[in-house]
Amino acid sequence: MMLKKIWSPIAWLWNKFWWLLDGSRRVFLNLLWLLILIALFGAIFRSGPKPLQEKTTLVLSLRGPLVEQFSGSARSQALAELQGQKAARQTRLRDVLAALQGAAKDPNISAVLLDLDDFSGAGMAGLHEVSAALQRFKKDSGKPIYAYGDSYNQRAYLLAAQADEIYLHPMGNVLIEGFGGYRTYYKDAFDRLGVSANVLRVGTYKSAAENYFTNGPSPASREADSLLYGALWTSYTDQVEAARKLEKGAISRDIEQLPEQMAALKGDTGQLALKQKLVDGLKTRDEMRALLIERGAKEGPTFRRIGYGDYLAHLKRQAPFGAAVGVVVAEGSIVDGETQAGRVGGDSTAQLIRQARENDQVKAVVLRVNSPGGSAFASEIVRRELEITRKAGKPVVISMGDVAASGGYWISMSSDRVIADANTITGSIGVFGMLPTADKLVEKLSLHSAGTTTTWLARNYDPMRPLDPRFASLVQSSINHIYDDFTAKAAVARKKKVDEIDAVAQGRVWTGAQALERGLIDQLGSYGDALKAAAQLAKLEGEPRLIYIEREPGKLDKLLASFADALAPSISAAVREQLGFTAAIPAPLQQVKSDLAWLGEVSEGRKPFAAVVHCLCAAP
């Protein structure tokens, strides 16, 4: 009886606790479902875009990175939003170009405002595409472009410099730093841990995995990086100084004198930008709104405006039939098999090229490449599909974006014309393989690995055991063969001798301008130039219709995409709190995490003699 009396209150408390827990769960899930329904019905019954009124300002709010195509699926993007990852927001290059092209001819658009506060950047080639589009807008329309920012980083400022007038918040700054950076080198750390990277490579300048087996860059790496970054910096400063009508060398001189200039202005970064003629004025946000109202029209509490995403809905859609140029985007690392947008799958990208070839409306194919490479096998699958497309009578034009190096160059070797931006990172014709082992670490942990095999090759690679020199020899032979295959294919594609290609290969990275001088590409030009070239090769008259050949999203992806923007911001914080997400890892440690994750990715699940054509070159 005594035990029953004690147990009854405990059971009662437990039942009440469980009722409260279950009830709160139901309330939270019901609220979440209600928000989804509201967003869904809003997407279904949303009326079409309102007619534009005169004196409307087109606001180019570029958020996140500038990309060739949105990465991931609507599901993954929604999850990233719920986790508070800003990287989920992306700006697609072709959308910006289309909005500017349409706005130049639209009588209701009176000006463009650049809002770059949330722009996380792009490579120099992508920035050059947008800069050129802004210049065309001014030339074709005669309409002004304004730029306003709380601050400007180096990449954002290159776009802002194209504006007629640049304004900065009085407490803001313009940060132009230059190009280059530091890598983390792991040799001593790996030695202390008892880990060996075992990197096998071909190419004096193939430095992609160098940081795993050295404590610093090799002389060859320093030489190549110095030439590359120097060319990019010269291009950047020349463009900014020309746009802002500054004397040549002004930017580099101001950086050298920065401590003295800052001291003279008592640390006022806004006045510093004004003195250096990087901005035309300092204005608070309300002052900028007042200026735009004065120059345009008042609508409610602010100026009459439209975002570029909404503006795209006002542009007329192209006719659904007729001859067209098919565009396939190859963006991200190249991997075997199939993958979603944001990476280049050997099988999935080849399938898209095949769709373009079999589409009767597509008369030519443009492959837009923005990739640092990856799997040599997957790269060859894509290249071969382009070769078949050419044999079928459809011209192929390669348009290189920020990066088209190593595997990104490999997939570009079967084409009728290769067009790159002057600042495209390309080349890196070289191969490497990596077989990390931790046998010394295993010894330190007093672990042992033993067993029986019928031949020495049966367990050809075991990270817990020392790398067998015989197996290393096999892999090195395979890598040598793939390098020979790479250079041979490049020689055929570029109509050169193998020795000529080898002299500019060796894993060395070049800018587009340097690649043109060495015969690795056909011409310098923009994405638009590549589209025109494809139309000319296919003998299409007038401005060609474009068909973007992309994987069709599933029904769930379409549903999520229809209301993700309305849903995610409103519940992101609540869901993060409920799920217990923690703060982001600091940037330096994030790079170490990325390096080690890549090391594991390279070694895990690879074919016995697989090789990597990757340059690990970020777009500066």
- Gap between the Cα atoms of 612 and 525, Å rounded: 29
Contacts of 162 (CB under 8 A, 6+ apart): 131, 134, 135, 138, 145, 243
Please identify every residue annotated as catalytic: 206, 406
Q: What is the pLDDT of residue 317?
A: 57
What per-residue confidence (pLDDT) applies to 286?
95
| Residue 253 CB neighbour total at 10 angstroms | 13
Q: Bridge-partner residues for 201, per DSSP?
A: 432
pLDDT at residue 501 in the model: 95
Q: Summarize pLDDT for 355-365 with one digit per residue, the tens.
A: 999 999 999 99
Domains 56-180+233-312 and 324-549+602-614 in one fold: yes
Q: How far are the Cα atoms of 212, 410, 520 from residue 494, in angstroms, in the given order? A: 33, 12, 7
Angle between helices 527-537 and 93-105 (to 10 degrees): 80
Tokens of 46: 């949303």
pLDDT of residue 614: 67
- Residue keyed to tokens 């606790």: 17
CA–CA separation, 518 vs 485, rounded Å?
20
CB 167 within 8 A of CB 283: yes
User: For position 578, what pLDDT does the model report?
Assistant: 40
Q: Give the residues of the chain that fall short of pLDDT 50.
A: 1-3, 82-84, 86-87, 319, 555-586, 588-589, 605-606, 608
Report pLDDT for 14: 66
The predicted pLDDT at position 88 comes to 58
**CATH code of the domain occupying 56-180+233-312:** 3.90.226.10
324-549+602-614: CATH, from 3.40.109.10, 3.90.226.10, 3.40.50.150, 1.20.1250.20: 3.90.226.10
Q: How far apart are CA 403 and CA 406, in angstroms?
A: 9
pTM of the predicted protein model: 0.81
Q: In this predicted structure, what is the pLDDT of residue 447? A: 79
Domain boundaries, the chain: 56-180+233-312, 324-549+602-614
Q: What is the pLDDT of residue 552?
A: 67
Q: What is the 3-state secondary structure (H, E, C) of 111-162?
A: EEEEECCCEEECCHHHHHHHHHHHHHHHHHHCCCEEEEECCECHHHHHHHCC
Amino acid (one-letter) located at 455: T
The two three-digit tokens of residue 210, written as one number: 């160098």
Q: Which H helix or E strand runs over 79?
A: helix 74-82
What is the structure's pLDDT at 271? 96
Dihedrals phi, psi of 402, to nearest 5 degrees: -65, -45
